[in-house]
């Protein structure tokens, strides 16, 4: 529905693989002194003195992870980078480089790939990250993007998933569930559009939700803020699959249980009103929605004073002994088993 039928179209085969790579990457700046050599050799060269190197990678596939009928290509490029930077921040690190591999079928003209790279460049410029390599090839069908992010952290600063301690507080940045509801709105509009292409949707009530879905921001500020507050999390993870699924990773790897309090879950007013409109439970959405790219972490209870008043953070529960299980304490003060109903890519 967002496609402009009159756009100019340049065939990719005109440029060839190396021409395309040059064309797409020539305006990218390098921001980090650790980048010794970027695009243009067999491998990129990174120099970290006295720090650990962090590496993470994600693969986004058309028809599985995104739908180009409502995901503009520029947003897709931006989001593909965010998803990966988020993983570096979740290690309490600084993201410094990315590689981007794309496969595209011939149905895409050069201008489409340029749009995609405009989003990647915006992400690089905003987050001060260097594009240092990748691979560009054709696909038999559709588009896919594989991004690898490289970051660094001092050895003593790296935060793993397995360091939570019993009684640690569970903290989450930002708010939850918006990205999932944004997707529901976009899916609904797509169906309306298929029935009546002349319909002009009024999306004013959903702007925050749609932005959370189409243009998520990785929480680069959280590791910075924690450093300022002199708080080192004991465990940290980013929320890609949903809060339940992520807290379960921390519990499992730290060999502990947890209690999450329903009334502490941070929800945007649009999440509450739109959940009602869709007749869905906002708690369920906050727990299982996914794609929020907020950070979930645990801190010793002694750090509560540093965290409590901060508008970026919500304390939503605490860790427990493993034999107490993973529990949600409802508003009615009932304990329920937490279930991971995050997105499972192999469900039929």
CA–CA–CA angle 165, 169, 174 (5° rounding): 130
- Per-residue b or e along 133-165, where b marks 16 or more CB atoms closer than 10 Å to that residue's CB: bbebeebeeebbbbbbbbbbbeeebbbbbebbe
Residues annotated in a binding site for ATP: 117, 134-135, 161, 240
Q: Is 45 in the site for a copy of itself (CB under 8 A)?
A: yes
For residue 233, the SS3 value is coil
Q: Is 103 in the site for a copy of itself (CB under 8 A)?
A: yes
Stretch that binds a copy of itself, among 7-15, 181-189, 271-279, 315-323 (CB under 8 A): 7-15
Work out which of 28, 65, 94, 275 binds a copy of itself, going by CB under 8 A.
65
Residues annotated in a binding site for Mg(2+): 42, 56-58, 87, 135, 238, 241
- Contact between 25 and 131 under an 8 Å Cβ cutoff? The reply is yes
Stretch that binds a copy of itself, among 10-18, 169-177, 303-311, 314-322 (CB under 8 A): 10-18
Work out which of 3, 22, 29, 106 binds a copy of itself, going by CB under 8 A.
106
Q: Is 216 in the site for a copy of itself (CB under 8 A)?
A: no
> How far from 20 is each of 16, 60, 306, CA to CA, in Å?
6, 21, 50
Work out which of 5, 6, 26, 155 binds a copy of itself, going by CB under 8 A.
155
Q: Is 71 in the site for a copy of itself (CB under 8 A)?
A: no
Q: Is 160 in the site for a copy of itself (CB under 8 A)?
A: yes
Q: Is 57 in the site for a copy of itself (CB under 8 A)?
A: yes
Phi, psi angles (nearest 5°) of residue 131: -80, 120
Least distance between a copy of itself and beta carbon 5 (Å): 22
Minimum CB distance to a copy of itself smaller for 155 or for 331? 155
User: Residue 150 and residue 147: Cα distance in Å, rounded?
Assistant: 10
Least distance between a copy of itself and beta carbon 279 (Å): 28
Work out which of 146, 173, 244, 288 binds a copy of itself, going by CB under 8 A.
146
Stretch that binds a copy of itself, among 216-224, 233-241, 257-265, 322-330 (CB under 8 A): 233-241
DSSP state of 311: T
Phi, psi angles (nearest 5°) of residue 58: -140, 150
User: Residue 247 and residue 236: Cα distance in Å, rounded?
Assistant: 9
Least distance between a copy of itself and beta carbon 197 (Å): 25
Q: Is 237 in the site for a copy of itself (CB under 8 A)?
A: yes
**DSSP state letters, 114-176:** HHHHHHHHHHHHHHT-EEEEEEEEE-SSSEEEEEEEEEEE-GGG---SS---TTPEEEEES-S
Least distance between a copy of itself and beta carbon 10 (Å): 12
Q: Is 345 in the site for a copy of itself (CB under 8 A)?
A: yes
User: Residue 100 and residue 57: Cα distance in Å, rounded?
Assistant: 10
Least distance between a copy of itself and beta carbon 236 (Å): 8
Minimum CB distance to a copy of itself smaller for 90 or for 183? 90
Q: Is 21 in the site for a copy of itself (CB under 8 A)?
A: no
Minimum CB distance to a copy of itself smaller for 33 or for 200? 33
User: Residue 193 and residue 139: Cα distance in Å, rounded?
Assistant: 28
Which residues from 245-264 bind a copy of itself, rule CB under 8 A?
A: 253
Q: Is 17 in the site for a copy of itself (CB under 8 A)?
A: yes
User: Residue 104 and residue 12: Cα distance in Å, rounded?
Assistant: 10
């Amino acid at each position: 529905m967002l496609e402009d039928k009159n756009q100019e179209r340049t065939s990719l085969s005109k440029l060839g693989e190396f021409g395309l790579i040059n064309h797409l990457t020539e305006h990218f700046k390098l921001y980090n002194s650790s980048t010794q050599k970027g695009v243009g050799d067999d491998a990129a060269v990174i120099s970290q003195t006295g720090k650990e190197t962090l590496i993470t990678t994600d693969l986004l596939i058309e028809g599985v992870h995104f739908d180009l009928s409502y995901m503009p290509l520029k947003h897709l490029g931006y989001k593909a980078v965010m998803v990966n930077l988020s993983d570096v921040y979740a290690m309490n690190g600084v993201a410094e480089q990315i590689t981007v591999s794309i496969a595209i079928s011939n149905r895409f003209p050069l201008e489409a790939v340029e749009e995609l790279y405009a989003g990647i460049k915006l992400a690089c410029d905003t987050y001060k990250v260097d594009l240092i390599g990748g691979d560009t090839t054709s696909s038999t069908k559709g588009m896919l993007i594989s991004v690898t992010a490289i970051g660094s952290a001092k050895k003593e600063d790296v935060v793993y998933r397995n360091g939570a301690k019993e009684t640690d507080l569970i903290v989450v940045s930002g708010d939850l569930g918006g990205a999932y509801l944004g997707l529901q709105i976009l899916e609904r509009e797509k169906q309306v559009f298929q029935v009546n292409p002349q319909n002009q949707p009024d999306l004013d009530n959903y702007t925050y939700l749609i932005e959370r879905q189409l243009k998520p921001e990785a929480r680069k500020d959280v590791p910075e803020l924690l450093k300022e507050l002199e708080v080192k999390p004991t465990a940290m993870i980013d929320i890609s699959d949903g809060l339940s699924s992520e807290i379960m990773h921390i519990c499992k790897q730290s060999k502990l249980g947890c209690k999450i309090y329903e009334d502490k879950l941070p929800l945007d007013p649009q999440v509450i009103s739109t959940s009602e409109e869709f007749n869905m439970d906002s708690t369920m959405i906050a727990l299982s929605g996914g794609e929020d790219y907020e950070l979930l972490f645990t801190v010793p209870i002694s750090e509560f004073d540093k965290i409590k008043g901060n508008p970026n953070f919500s304390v939503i529960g605490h860790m427990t002994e493993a034999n107490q299980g993973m529990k949600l304490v409802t508003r009615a003060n009932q304990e329920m088993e937490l279930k991971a109903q995050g997105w499972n890519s192999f469900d039929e």
